Amino acid sequence: MSRIKTLRANNLKGYSFDEDLAPVNIVVGDNTSGKTAVLAAVKLVLLGYEPRWGKTSGATFGACGSKGGGATSLTVQALLDNDTLLSRVWEIKRGKVSYTGPEHEYIPGMLLDPTTYFALSGPARLNYVLSQVDLSKVGISCEAVCANLVKDIKPETGPAVEALHEVQALIAELEAERQNEDASIYDWLTAVVDKITTTGKEAATAANTHEQTVKGLTSNKADDGDMSAIESVQPEINDAREEHTKAVQAEANAENAYTAARNALNDAKQLAAKAVDESKVHAEIEAQKAVIERAKLVPVAGEPPIQRLMTTPRPTDAPEHAAFNAAQAKAQATARELFNTAAEQQRLLKSIQDAKAHTSCPTCGHDITEKQAKVVAELEKQYTKALKAAEKAGIEHKAAADAEKAAGDATIHVTADIAAWDTASQQLLKENQEKVAKWNKSTAEFNAAQSTINTATATIQKLEASLAANATAAEAWAKLPALEKAAQEAGETATAATRAIQPILDRIRMMEGKQRQFIARTQDARRADQSRAAYAAAKAKADIYNASLKVVAGEKDRVATEAFELLLRHARKFTDGILKAPLEYRDGELGMTYQGNWVGYKYFSGAEELIAFAGLAVALTQNEKPVVRIVMMDELGKLDKNNKVKLADRMVQLHQQGVIDQFIGCDVQRDDYLHLGHKLADFQVIPVASCKELA
């Protein structure tokens, strides 16, 4: 363990300071003089946050006082007595707060803020306490619990001993699971209690079921009769079953004979029914032969007709159309050129006429004939040129028009050739279709004639077969009376055989009922004995589990009580002799008994809470390994002078005993501590004025 040797802060709540710390320190100064800034610096450097402000960097940087153009960084540092430097920095850059420093805490938060313990649920508090105390001192283990079961229960019967072994095995199994899951002793005992409770209820239910079974099997009713009067009739049943087997076989034989007789009779009737009129059959045969002869007269269609095709390919007019389109485009272009030259010619002619009409200046009246003659001559020169251009355009247009007409005539000629080819092709297709239709008709007629021949031939064969069956039918008619008599006699024999079976079955059922009653009574007696034994075992198991539940539940309660007692022994190192009564744990609540009355921690005075929570915080983290096991108390003014002296002396003692590494307290009174400096080793008073306040 270490302690803080030097504490530094820059821009914290408007203060900057660099302070050397002793193991036990009292920071003194007036209210609002900056004492809590020292405590805040310790929390920031060890935790990385002040619990009251929140854990975010923005919340921490709010203590820098940066609003309104203030500081832009907050720094806290602690130099430990082993020369380790702890440093954290918060800065604002571009409107965002950044943090530089370690991401972890150097001490558990509960060491400086024990109220987080009271925020836990009841089971969570207990599990936390169990994690902080040495339960080996309580004497709770799997072996100890199993030994206490044997000592307290002392089973006497075999089932009871077996049930106790089951409980011990269950406890060992849950202990193995606890070790694998790294659960607490209390969790293990809770699981044991739950499992024993469930299994005990199951055993009690089983015992009740077996008890009810015994009662149901052993209760005697008036109509049950005396069991000794019922004897086994199995030999008689066996004889009757053998007799029944013979009767059933006789019935089967009779049924088979009856079935054979009826089949023979039916076969004879079917044969007799096939007799026909021979004269009519012969007439029908001749008629069918005539049909065949007529069908043979239908000629064969022959080979399919050969399809005629066009000997020349279909003409195309694509080149002629292309030539016509090109000639037409050229003719249109030359027509536009002819129109433009004619228009230019007319414009120049009008300009010449206008120039010749004006021979004097309209302003001064001087003769301008010479000048105007030059203009007229130039215009006439242009006019002559335009005439030649118009003449040339006319010649080109005529040639293009002639070419367009020739291309059009060529297109019309090719179109006529295509139409003639298409007409010839359609005529050839029509001729081909007519030939195919005629051939299809002939083929259909021939196929129909062949079908008629086949049908008539089959009919003739059937008729001839009926003539051949006439002799067999006559013989069947003669046998019918005898066969009918034999079938009747066989039916009567089968009926008699069937009637003989039922009395045997009735006798067997009656004897089987007696035998079932005999077996049921024998089995009931056996089941009753088995259920009595099962009831005794289940009852013993339920009793053992109930007794075990009391032992384990008592151990569970003892764990909770003694764990808190161990915790409070540690906490009382801070409070005994200072508080007016020792700290206690009662019914899940922390408090103390004063003048016979219980006072819970919620009702402690400010001074009581200050000291009790400090001791509780150290006790709750006794198994942790913080960098500095430090205790801090604000507002020591809540204590009277006598208790202040006791507290300072106690903190020095706890430091020397290795319980804590360092203590820092804050008070407004300096005089209460001045005379202690030369008495208590490792103790100093720090005036807050030694901290340099920022301008």
Query: If DSSP codes are grouped into helix, strand and coil, which group holds residue 5?
Result: strand
Contact 630, 662 (CB under 8 A): yes
Contact 268, 479 (CB under 8 A): yes
- Closest by CA to 573, choosing from 622, 520, 535, is 622
Dihedral sign, Cα of residue 198, residue 200, residue 204, residue 206:
positive
pLDDT at 49: 92
- Closest by CA to 74, choosing from 254, 165, 53, is 53
Residue ranges in the chain modelled with pLDDT below 70: 1, 65-70, 134-138, 216-230, 268-269, 271-277, 358-369, 467-480, 519-529, 531, 588, 678, 689-695
Distance CA(89)–CA(100), nearest Å, equals: 5
pLDDT at 7: 95
Distance CA(560)–CA(567), nearest Å, equals: 11
Angle, in degrees to the nearest 10, between helices 369-468 and 318-357: 160
Token pair for residue 16? 């900057």
pLDDT at 695: 32
In 154-255, DSSP assigns E strands to: none
Confidence (pTM): 0.50
Q: Residue 642: CB partners within 8 Å, gap ≥ 6?
A: none
Distance CA(595)–CA(590), nearest Å, equals: 17
Contacts of residues 588-597 at CB distance under 8 Å and 24 or more positions apart, as own/partner, are 588/122, 588/125, 590/616
Distance CA(660)–CA(107), nearest Å, equals: 13
Tell me, what amino acid is at 406? A
The torsion angles phi and psi of 87, rounded to 5 degrees, stand at -145, 140
pLDDT at 201: 84
Distance CA(607)–CA(615), nearest Å, equals: 13
Angle, in degrees to the nearest 10, between helices 606-620 and 641-656: 10
Q: Residue 594: CB partners within 8 Å, gap ≥ 6?
A: 580, 581
Burial class (CB in 10 A: 0-12, 13-18, 19+), 188: buried
Q: What is the dihedral of CA 425, 429, 432, 434, to 10 degrees?
A: -130
Distance CA(299)–CA(450), nearest Å, equals: 11
Strand-pair category, 15-20 with 692-693: antiparallel
Distance CA(454)–CA(386), nearest Å, equals: 100
Contact 618, 571 (CB under 8 A): yes
Distance CA(450)–CA(456), nearest Å, equals: 10
- Please name the residue that has the structure tokens 């008699």: 496
- Measured over all CA atoms, what is the biggest interatomic distance in the chain, rounded to whole angstroms? 179
Distance CA(173)–CA(142), nearest Å, equals: 10
CATH number of 4-107+626-693: 3.40.50.300
Q: Where are the alpha helices (DSSP H) in 297-368?
A: 318-357
| Residue range 41-76, pLDDT digits in tens | 999 999 999 988 988 988 888 888 655 456 789 999
Contact 426, 336 (CB under 8 A): no
Q: Residue 124: CB partners within 8 Å, gap ≥ 6?
A: none
Contact 33, 40 (CB under 8 A): no
Q: Given phi > 0 = left and psi -120 to 50 = alpha, else beta, which region is 356?
A: alpha
- Closest by CA to 637, choosing from 663, 602, 673, 662, is 673
Q: Residue 44: CB partners within 8 Å, gap ≥ 6?
A: 12, 50, 60, 76, 88
Token pair for residue 518? 């005999």
The torsion angles phi and psi of 200, rounded to 5 degrees, stand at -65, -40
Q: Residue 549: CB partners within 8 Å, gap ≥ 6?
A: 193, 196, 197, 200
Q: Residue 353: CB partners within 8 Å, gap ≥ 6?
A: none
pLDDT at 681: 80
The 10 Å CB-count burial string (b at 16+, else e) for 115-138 is eebeeeeeeebbbbbbebbebeeb
- 454 vs 393, 396, 447, 459, 463, CA distance in Å? 90, 86, 11, 9, 14
pLDDT at 680: 80
Residue 386's CB is within 10 A of a number of other CB atoms, namely: 19
Tell me, what amino acid is at 487? A
